[in-house]
Amino acid sequence: METETIHPHSEIQPSTKMSGPADDELVRLDRVERIYKMGDNVVRALDGVDISIHKGQYWSIIGRSGSGKSTLLNVLGCLDRPTGGTYFLGGTNVNQLDDDALSEIRGQRIGFIFQSFNLIPQLTVLENLEVPLFYQESEPGVAKERAERFADRVGLKDRLHHRPNELSGGQQQRVAIARALMNEPLILLADEATGNLDSKTEKEILTLLDELHQEGMTIIMVTHSDKVADRAGHKLELRDGKVLKITHLDRSPL
Amino acid sequence: MHRGSMIRTIRLGFKSLMLHKLRSALTMLGILFGVSSVIAMLSIGEGASYEAQERIKALGSNNIILESRKPPDQNTQQEQSAWTAQEYGLTYQDAELIADTLPAVKVVIPIREIPKRVRYSETIVPTIVLGTVPGYSEVTGVQLKEGRFLTRIDLQRKRNVAVIGSEIARKLFRLTNPIDKNIRIGKEIFRVIGQLAEPERGNTGKSADRMRQGIFVPLTAAISFFGELIVKTSAGSREMERVQLHRIKVQVLGNEEVLGTGAAIRKIMADQHKKKDFAVIVPLELLRQAEDTKRIFNIVLGSIAGISLLVGGIGIMNVMLATVTERTREIGIRRALGAKQRHIIAQFLVETVVLSCMGGILGILLGITIPAVVEWYSNITTIVSPTFPILAFGISAGVGILFGLYPAWRAAQMDPVEALRHE
């Protein structure tokens, strides 16, 4: 695999690197808080969350709606900034970064998979796949070559010139997974990735994620389904913004 | 942003606009009409002022023209004494005085105009006989088609010779050569010595009119053959007047002397004539006035066009704000995939500029067509200067940027999490 885009760019300061953690620790959350203030109401969506995720692990985050799992995923995905605590991603302290730097981190280190696929409707499959690299200002040739490779990987090589609305839900989610892989990210974040799919398609997508995990990809998946959550090696249960329980299943080493 | 991604951003902009063809087209109309009205107004205005300036230039920018005017208060008196000829206007003495006292004056051309009928063989045509001096041809720049103009000897000997206007020649002598033919002006016989060339088609000035309809004879001959009294007959009434000279054309040595000489002539004339029975026309002054008028005209037209472009721009902004709201989710997706705020700004700004520039280009095409159509149907001269389309295109691109900035900024300011949640 190519690795050139994985390394942090100059805008992300290596000086914020933590001294302590092991080399393969990708994600480290220390007492992370995310507090929303709405008038006099204070909502503690995340209330002191500690997590440590290592390279190559497959995590699921489970909890009822309102438990804070989506907020956690947004923080992990650098879409949202914690209001307290620290978040290290690949050795970078994310808290201190400005909007541009966060965008750069998202563009270079994170792959998103959403419940509603979130493909851009007016673009073809190929163009959708090229979007992440467009913002990395890579050469168009590189993007096209990679798009073809990943489309092939998810089994949609013959659909490159179709538009999202010409594809089934499962196919759209495959495109979305291929798109998440385009920047060769450090972690793959899946938000209810199978929530909109029937059980047969769900199985296909979960199998695809399993395969990616076996190929060495670090995956964090948010779900409300225990059945889905149990496929991951590590299961984190959230309740009211707090970590309720972390289960390490024997399938993968801590 | 490097060039490749700029091109891709522009392509993306086109693509997004093509998704809503009707909406894009309607939005473009605002700019289209704004730009086309800018061009149409400017070229019609430019044409009008060009025509005015040409007409004034035809009078000669080194010339000063004096004209006899019937004093308005004389009308009632004249009715009381129907047989008394009214006496007014420029005199031979005025012409001499101007020639003798003002050093900057090069030539003074006195002109006496007498309405008469001219006859050759069986054809009778109404005309105006102009008694003048040989210098007339140089000062007004008449062109001869055939023969010669009046000479000093013609003038001295009061010869009954005539130079005929182009239209008179056509009417009297269809196929025959008029030179050396005798024509009858009133009761007098004159010999044709020259025929004037047809003035330019667009030239509708007074002297051009005379070059078509007039007959030029030596001033001395005009006085001795036709007398001082001019009788005008019109529908049942006859009017008699005693006017020595109808016009005096004064040519000044240099352009810079024109305004001063004009003022001096006005002073002399005011001293000589107690009644206000003359007018002094300084073409150079008129030219200056025409330029001032043009400036005001341009400001007015510019404001109207500017307002229509403003309205078009607001229309674009309105649509882009709606588009941004509609595509909130796309913005969220792009942000999640690594787009920075400036990428989002560039995307929407480019879209707006593409929209307004397309409107601008179509507006230029329409704007060039309108003056051509106007020129075809009415005889108005229009001038499309090459700077107009460039100006108009620049304005439309500017409008796109100006009115696209705010929607694009709004798009970029969206919180990615909120944007992704947007349905």
d(CA B354, CA B399): 11
pLDDT value of position B235: 65
**Owner of token pair 């196929």:** B175
Q: If DSSP codes are grouped into helix, strand and coil, which group holds residue A58?
A: strand
All residues of chain A having their beta carbon less than 8 Å from the beta carbon of residue B17 are: none
Statement: residue A149 has pLDDT above 60: yes
Residue A237 has pLDDT above 60, yes or no: yes
- Rounded to a whole number of angstroms, the distance between the first and last alpha carbons of chain B is 31
A115/A98 Cα distance (integer angstroms)? 27
CA–CA distance, B352 with B342 (Å, rounded to integer): 15
pLDDT at A15: 38
Mean pLDDT, range B358-385, rounded to an integer: 89
| B283 within a domain of the structure (yes/no) | no
Mean predicted lDDT score pLDDT of chain A: 87
Q: Which residues contact B94 (CB under 8 A, 6 or more apart)?
A: B66, B245, B248, B268, B269, B272, B278
Q: Taking every pair of C-alpha atoms in chain A, what is the biggest distance, in angstroms?
A: 55
Residue tagged 């329980």 (tokens): A245
- Asked if the model's pLDDT at residue B72 lies above 80, the reply is no
Please name which of A96, A66, A3 lies closest in space to residue A242, comparing C-alpha atoms: A66
pLDDT in tens, A70-106: 999 999 999 999 999 999 998 889 988 999 999 999 9
Q: Which residue has tokens 């140089």? A: B138
Interface check A196 vs B, CB under 8 A: no
Whether B235 and B271 share a structural domain: yes
The single-letter DSSP state of residue A179 is H
Q: Are residues B308 and B260 in the same domain?
A: no
Residue B62 lies in a domain: no
Two structure tokens written together for A13: 């300061």
- HEC string of chain B equals CCHHHHHHHHHHHHHHHHHCHHHHHHHHHHHHHHHHHHHHHHHHHHHHHHHHHHHHHHHCCCEEEEEECCCHHHHHHHHHCCCCCEECCECHHHHHHHHHHCCCEEEEEEEEEEEEEEEECCEEEEEEEEEECCCHHHHHCCCEEEECCCCHHHHHCCCCEEEECHHHHHHHCCCCCCCCCEEEECCEEEEEEEEECCCCCCCCCHHHHHHHHEEEEEHHHHHHHHCCEEEEEECCEEEEEECCECEEEEEECCHHHHHHHHHHHHHHHHHHCCCCCEEEECHHHHHHHHHHHHHHHHHHHHHHHHHHHHHHHHHHHHHHHHHHHHCHHHHHHHHHCCCCHHHHHHHHHHHHHHHHHHHHHHHHHHHHHHHHHHHHHCCCCCCCCCHHHHHHHHHHHHHHHHHHHHHHHHHHHCCHHHHHHCC
Judged against a pLDDT cut of 70, whether residue A59 lies above it is answered with: yes
Cβ–Cβ of A139/B4 closer than 8 Å? yes
CB-based contact B55:B73 (threshold 8 Å) = no
- Two structure tokens written together for A236: 């984190």
Note whether B16 contacts A: Cβ–Cβ < 8 A.
yes
Please identify, among B241, B276, B311, the residue that sits at the C-terminal boundary of a domain: B276
Residues B325 and B246 in one domain: no
How far is it, in rounded angstroms, from Cα B280 to Cα B272? Answer: 14
* Confidence label for B126 from pLDDT (cuts 50, 70 and 90): very high
Is residue B282 situated within a structural domain?
no
Of B208, B243, B276, the domain-final residue: B276
Residue B271 domain-assigned (yes or no): yes
Q: Indicate the number of domains in chain B.
A: 2
> Residue B244, Cβ neighbours under 10 Å: how many?
18
Which range among A41-55, A228-242, B36-50, B114-128 shows the weakest confidence by mean pLDDT?
B36-50
* Confidence category of residue A7, pLDDT binned at 50, 70, 90: very low
Average pLDDT across chain B, whole number: 87
Write down the pLDDT at residue B395. 85
**Range(s) of the domain holding residue B249:** 70-276
Residue A119 CA to residue B253 CA, distance in Å, equals: 82
Tokens describing residue B334: 């792009």
- Residues B185, B243, single domain; the answer is yes
pLDDT (average), residues A153-177: 93
User: In this prediction, what percent of chain B has a pLDDT beyond 70?
Assistant: 94
Q: What is the pLDDT of residue A22?
A: 52
| Mean predicted confidence (pLDDT) in A169-194 | 94
Q: Which residue of B has its CA nearest to A129?
A: B337
B276, B304, B336: which is the final residue of a domain?
Answer: B276
Q: Is the pLDDT of residue A19 over 70?
A: no
Closest chain A C-alpha to B355 CA, distance in angstroms? 18
Whether B279 and chain A come into contact, CB under 8 Å, resolves to no
Q: How far is CA A127 from CA A150, A170, B67, B337, in A?
A: 13, 19, 79, 13
User: What percentage of chain B exceeds 90 in pLDDT?
Assistant: 44
Q: Are residues B245 and B129 in the same domain?
A: yes
**Distance, in angstroms, between A248 CA and closest chain B CA?**
29
Looking at the structure, do residues B107 and B12 belong to the same domain, yes or no?
Answer: no
pLDDT recorded at residue B74: 52
Interface test with chain A among B10, B328, B337, B343, by most A beta carbons within 10 Å: B337
Residue B340 and residue B199 share a domain: no
Which string of b and e fits A201-232 if b means at least 16 CB within 10 Å? bbebbbebbeebbeeebbbbbbbeeeebbebb
Question: Does residue B78 fall inside a structural domain?
Answer: yes
Q: What sign for the dihedral angle of Cα A174, A176, A178, A184?
A: negative
Record: contact B335-A183, CB cut-off 8 A: no
Q: What per-residue confidence (pLDDT) applies to A253?
A: 47
Mean pLDDT calculated for residue range B357-367: 92
Span B225-254, average pLDDT: 81
The answer to whether residue B216 sits within a structural domain is yes
Cα–Cα distance for residue pair A147/B178, rounded to 1 Å: 90
Question: In whole angstroms, what is the distance from residue B96 CA to residue B111 CA?
Answer: 13
Contact A8, A90 (CB under 8 A): yes
Which of A80, A135, A140 is nearest residue B338 as measured by Cβ atoms? Answer: A135
Confidence of residue A196 (pLDDT cuts 50, 70, 90): confident
Is residue A176 within 8 Å of residue A195, measured between CB atoms?
no
Start-end of H helices in chain A: 69-76, 99-109, 125-135, 140-153, 169-181, 199-214, 226-229
Q: Is the pLDDT of residue A18 over 60?
A: no
Name the residue among A77, A80, A131 with its Cβ closest to that of B334: A131
What is d(CA B327, CA B17) in angstroms, rounded to the nearest whole number? 12
Please determine, for residue A40, whether its predicted confidence score (pLDDT) is greater than 80.
Answer: yes
Q: Domain-by-domain residue ranges, chain A?
A: 58-78+98-248
Give the other-Cβ count within 10 Å of A25's Cβ: 16
Q: Is the pLDDT of residue B128 over 80?
A: yes
Residue A152 above 80 pLDDT?
yes
Q: CA B270: distance to chain centroid?
A: 32
Token pair listed for B203: 């030239």
Q: Say whether residue A136 is in contact with chain B using an 8 A CB cutoff.
A: yes
The predicted-structure confidence for B142-180, as pLDDT tens digits, reads as follows 889 999 999 999 999 999 999 999 999 999 998 889 999
A40 at interface of B, judged by CB pairs closer than 8 A = no
Do both B78 and B48 map to the same domain? Answer: no
A227-231, B307-311, B349-353, range with the lowest pLDDT = B307-311
Res A138: pLDDT:
78
Residues B237 and B374 in one domain: no
Residues 336 to 395 of B: which have CB under 8 A from any A CB?
Answer: 336-343
- For residues B389 and A238, the model is more confident at A238
- Of the two residues B90 and B206, the one the predictor is more confident about is B90
Nearest residue of chain A to residue B338 (CA atoms) = A107
| Optimal mutation site among A114, A122, A175, interface B, most CBs of chain B within 10 A | A122
For B297, residues 6+ apart whose C-beta sits below 8 A from its C-beta are B45, B48, B49
Q: Is the pLDDT of residue B71 over 90?
A: no
Tell me the nearest-neighbour CA distance from A251 into chain B, angstroms. 31
Cβ–Cβ < 8 Å for B86, B240: yes
Nearest C-alpha in B relative to A180: B337
In a domain, B60, yes or no: no
pLDDT at res. A5? 37
Q: Is B231 in the same domain as B109?
A: yes
Q: Which residues of B touch A120 (CB under 8 A)?
A: 330, 333-334
Is B202 part of a structural domain of the chain? Answer: yes
- Output DSSP code: residue A241: T
Distance to chain B for A95, nearest Cα, Å: 16
Helix (H, G, I), strand (E, B) or coil at A214: helix
Interface contact A131-B337, CB threshold 8 A: yes
B7 vs A35, A107, B3, CA distance in Å? 42, 21, 6
**Which chain B residues are within 8 Å of A46, Cβ to Cβ?**
none
> A100 contacts in B (CB within 8 Å)?
340-342
C-alpha neighbours within 13 Å on the C-beta side of residue A57: 22
B340 vs A103, A112, A183: nearest CB: A103
Nearest-neighbour CA in chain B from A150: distance (Å): 16
Which CATH entry fits the domain spanning A58-78+98-248: 3.90.1520.10, 1.20.1260.10, 3.40.920.10, 3.40.50.300?
A: 3.40.50.300
Bridge partner residues of A27 (DSSP): A53, A89
B11 touching A, CB under 8 A?
no
Question: Is the predicted pLDDT of residue A12 greater than 70, yes or no?
Answer: no
- The confidence score (pLDDT) of residue A216 equals 93
Which of A72, A74, A75, A79 has the highest number of chain B CBs within 10 A, making it the mutation to test binding with B?
A79
Give residue for tokens 């051509």: B372
DSSP state of A8: P
Give the confidence band of A186 by pLDDT, cuts at 50, 70, 90.
very high
User: Residue B221: pLDDT band by 50, 70, 90 thresholds?
Assistant: very high
Q: Which residues have CB under 8 Å from B251's CB, separation 6+?
A: B60, B62, B63, B105, B106, B107, B108, B109, B139
The answer to whether the beta carbons of residues B79 and B59 sit under 8 Å apart is no
Per-residue confidence (pLDDT) for residue B364, from 0 to 100: 92
Whether residues B130 and B157 fall in one domain: yes
pLDDT given for residue B283 in this prediction: 87
Pairing of strands A187-191, A25-38: unpaired
Q: How much is the average pLDDT of B49-75?
A: 80
pLDDT at residue A108 above 90?
Answer: yes
Residues B272 and B309 placed together within one structural domain of the fold: no
**Confidence check: pLDDT of A9 > 70:** no
pLDDT of res. B60: 79
pLDDT > 90? residue B54: no
| Residue A222: predicted pLDDT | 94
Does the distance separating the beta carbons of A106 and B336 come in below 8 Å?
Answer: yes
Say yes or no: B4 contacts chain A, CB-CB below 8 A. yes
Task: With beta carbons under 8 A apart, name residues in chain A contacting B15.
Answer: 122-123
pLDDT of residue B199: 83
